[in-house]
Structure 1
Amino acid sequence: MESNFPVVDMGLLQTEKRPEAMDKIKDACENWGFFEVVNHGISHELLDTVENLTKGHYKKCMEQRFKEMVASKGLEAVQTEIDDLDWESTFFLKHLPVSNVYEVPDLDDEYRKVMKDFALKLEKLAENLLDLLCENLGLEKGYLKKAFYGSKGSTFGTKVSNYPPCPKPDLIKGLRAHTDAGGIILLFQDDKVSGLQLLKDGSWIDVPPMKHSIVINLGDQLEVITNGTYKSIEHRVIAQQDGTRMSIASFYNPGSDAVIFPAPELIEKTEEENKLKYPKFVFEDYMKLYAGLKFQAKEPRFEAMKAVETTVNLGPIETV
């Protein structure tokens, strides 16, 4: 376990230790791209319910399907590394701008209700965290939420994943290395089975499983808006031979038509010779590109958006 992995006690933000907690968030955003939060305002009772229902749903509705997929592809017997498949069983929920929680098949009513409640709490936490980042960056309160807004508000969705035991974890990744395309990601992960790793200074470091914590990481859009002050970090999931790892990742992202560009206040603070490091683009265009290049380096994605920028008249940004 990485002993100096940043863990932020959000309870301290209401005390005289606020400056220390803010410094810890600042350092985590600048040097890790990841941190874990505790005392984040989401009750342990709700988290335990979400975990129990998620694990129960996997066993009841998804485990058998996953085993059949493994058998049909002959994955038990692979001899060489697989680089076009992830050892995970997933489903997706959309919350904003419109929820589909009641349309997704196979979920029982209690689970739907709990996930809806959980999403509302996470949305609030995401917006609270974005304002803390604004404070650290010297941006006005609400700047990042506004930058994400587009014409219909932010997009927000959850990827519910289970990583079953894998017979060949050296040959099949739970989830291949990538950076996240969007804004701020909030992850509620298994506190017993580890597997999430991030790349720091050329080494893969475990993100420690901690009971009732929420892991936060920054996506590509925050790298662009902060003009590279904060960076999205490559991460992956290592499949394990024992135990099924639960992972519930919620993505608080810009609206599809939000125009993303570096915050003018932050460009002024950058070194003279490379003031503007990132292009201006519509989030949806970035996502179309990302869909095909998720497991590749992010820099060529930014370069490709620069090429698009010259051909698109994006006009003034909408602020709401």
Structure 2
Amino acid sequence: MGSISDETVEENADAPTYVPSLPVPNVQELVKEDPLQVPDRYVRDQDDILQVNDMSWLSSEIPIIDLSLLSKGDKEELNKLDLACKEWGFFQVVNHGVAKKVLQDMKDATTEFFELPLEEKNKYAMPPDDIQGYGHAYVVSEDQTLDWSDALILVVYPAQYRKLKFWPSTPKGYKDIIEAYSKGVKDVGVELLRSFSTIMGMDQDALLGLHEELVQALRVNYYPECSRPDQVLGISPHSDTSTITILMQEHDKHGLQIKHNGGWVPVKPIPDALVVNVGDVIEILSNGKYKSIEHRAVTNESKERISYASFLVPRDDVEIEPLDHLVDSQSTQKMYKKVVYGEYLRSSMKRRMEGKAHTQMAKVET
């Protein structure tokens, strides 16, 4: 297989476009220019930040799943997965098979990319009509409170959806590193979706078949340090529009928090583990048995942080609705209506991140 770096960068007619996001300042540059200033547009209402309790003492209870056992169909591990999805909607995966070097190369090259001068990074800037590239997503109004982060967003699979002009060629070999990392994550995702099919009472490949073609996007989030971390959020509370999301954190920096029993629980990194969360698609398919969970990112006063989120989703034209066998007409009401995935996704992108407000589109009105 040739190197991606050698591929010609031409627009692919098959590649979907998503929705525009308004241009906003680069946060990393704001911090470089004046490390002590936090512009008003980033300052949160204190109720937003403190609206729920800190429950950090629960961090150690977030489930840990062994993928090597899951892939063998281990009953006990499948039960753990079922419980993790019902009670938490989040879990950490160990023994996932992605080589340490692949994870480390991704971290090293990405750090180098974000250290480049702004004009170099802006060569990959998001266009006015899409969210692939370097910049900010989900900015829909001029008066919206902004997140304290910058992002690089790329669609990786299927390969014909790639827009390679947005894939950075600096540092050298970065495109191939993104490809190797994303391939590893895809393998983990396929294995997990097989296990999800099993715990949802279906054949192993049922969920993969339902997707028509597994689409995978990568969002790399860069959270600069902030002199007033108590006033800002790195990413606003939201649930993911994905089927599942697979996230790599830096092993020595905290930032991700999940909503659980009315409080915020930090997801403490386990070296080389991957964090997985249930997305809206699984919530709809399972008729609410497994719920997508609100999560957010907080910032740090003394050091920047980078996270790597891979979203696995169905093809745009796939219709999703609760699976028949999970809706028993006698006792269980259908909580979600049929939605076309691409419409659901774009509808959520046209609004600011605001908890689970975007899921109303799929809810059956009672």
TM-score of the two chains, using structure 2 as the length reference: 0.73
Aligned to 2:166, which of 85, 93, 104? 104
1:121-270 equivalence runs, <5 A: 121-149=184-212, 153-268=213-328
Aligned to 1:25, which of 60, 65, 81? 81
Indicate the residue corresponding to 2:153 in structure 1. 92
Indicate the residue corresponding to 2:8 in structure 1. none
Indicate the residue corresponding to 1:72 in structure 2. none
Which amino acid counterpart does residue 93 of structure 2 have in structure 1? V
Aligned 8 A contact 2:148 2:233 in 1: yes
Q: Distance in 1 between matches of 2:186 and 2:352?
A: 24
SS of the equivalent of 1:117 reads: helix
Could you tell me the percent identity over the aligned residues? 28
Name the stretch that deviates more: 57-66 or 238-247. Answer: 57-66
Aligned 8 A contact 1:185 1:252 in 2: yes
Which amino acid counterpart does residue 90 of structure 1 have in structure 2? A
TM-score of the two chains, using structure 1 as the length reference: 0.83
Shift of residue 99, structure 1, vs aligned partner = 4.7
| Pairing 1:295–2:357 present | no
SS of the equivalent of 1:84 reads: coil
| Pairing 1:60–2:108 present | no
SS of the equivalent of 1:293 reads: coil
Aligned 8 A contact 1:101 1:112 in 2: no
SS of the equivalent of 1:228 reads: coil
Q: Distance in 2 between matches of 1:169 and 1:28?
A: 30
Aligned 8 A contact 1:101 1:116 in 2: no
Aligned 8 A contact 1:92 1:160 in 2: yes
Q: Judging changes above 3 Å, is the alpha-carbon distance between structure 1 residues 65 and 47 closer, same or farther for their aligned structure 2 residues?
A: closer
SS of the equivalent of 2:151 reads: strand
Q: Judging changes above 3 Å, is the alpha-carbon distance between structure 1 residues 156 and 15 closer, same or farther for their aligned structure 2 residues?
A: closer
SS of the equivalent of 1:272 reads: coil
The Cα offsets for residues 60-95 of structure 1, whole Å up to 9 and x where unpaired, read as 2459989xxxxxxxxxxxxxxx96211112111111
Shift of residue 274, structure 1, vs aligned partner = 3.6
Ranges in structure 1 where 5+ consecutive residues have no aligned partner: 67-81, 310-320
Aligned 8 A contact 1:178 1:294 in 2: no
Q: Distance in 2 between matches of 1:24 and 1:142?
A: 20
Ranges in structure 2 where 5+ consecutive residues have no aligned partner: 1-55, 123-142
Which amino acid counterpart does residue 222 of structure 1 have in structure 2? I
Higher helix share: 1
SS of the equivalent of 1:103 reads: helix
Aligned 8 A contact 1:61 1:106 in 2: no
Q: Distance in 2 between matches of 1:30 and 1:206?
A: 19
Which amino acid counterpart does residue 118 of structure 1 have in structure 2? Y
Indicate the residue corresponding to 2:125 in structure 1. none
Indicate the residue corresponding to 1:8 in structure 2. 65
Q: Distance in 1 between matches of 2:191 and 2:80?
A: 16
